[in-house]
Amino acid sequence: MIESLGQDFVRTARSKGISERRVVYRHGLRAALTPVATIFGIDLAFQLTGAIFTERLFGLNGIGVLALNAFNQYDLPVLMGGVLVGAIVLVAMNFIVDIAYTFLDPRVRLG
């Protein structure tokens, strides 16, 4: 956000005499959100598939624990399945973030 507010277009926005709140939110925050979207997507992917500790802690039967048990028991097919699910979720989240980018940043749109 600090980096965003240091951008030239924020200085231009201030020079127009618009309210400081508008400068910070509409110009500054909006520009800072886009890189955050990428990280959010990846992070969400990891949350969905890799929360092994959480699952063990609360006794939930999730994919994380399933994969861990498979790993310990040398249960290859289940392990492969777990990894595959994880991979699909990550790719799907990346794809969703890419689509989201076309809404966030007009420079990314096609045509």
Residues 64-83 that bind other proteins (CB under 8 A): none
Least distance between other proteins and beta carbon 38 (Å): 16
- Considering the rule CB under 8 A, would residue 107 count as an interface residue with other proteins? yes
Of residues 2, 8, 74, 110, which one binds other proteins by CB under 8 A?
A: 8
Give the distance, in angstroms, between the CA of residue 76 and the centroid of all CA atoms in the same chain: 30
Of 34, 52, 43, 51, the residue nearest 93 (C-alpha): 43
- The H helix count followed by the E strand count for the chain is 7, 0
Of residues 1, 3, 6, 11, which one binds other proteins by CB under 8 A?
A: 11
Of residues 3, 6, 12, 25, which one binds other proteins by CB under 8 A?
A: 12
How many chain residues bind other proteins (CB under 8 A)?
Answer: 21
- Considering the rule CB under 8 A, would residue 27 count as an interface residue with other proteins? yes
- Binding residues for other proteins, rule: CB under 8 A, are 7-9, 11-20, 22, 27, 30-31, 104-107
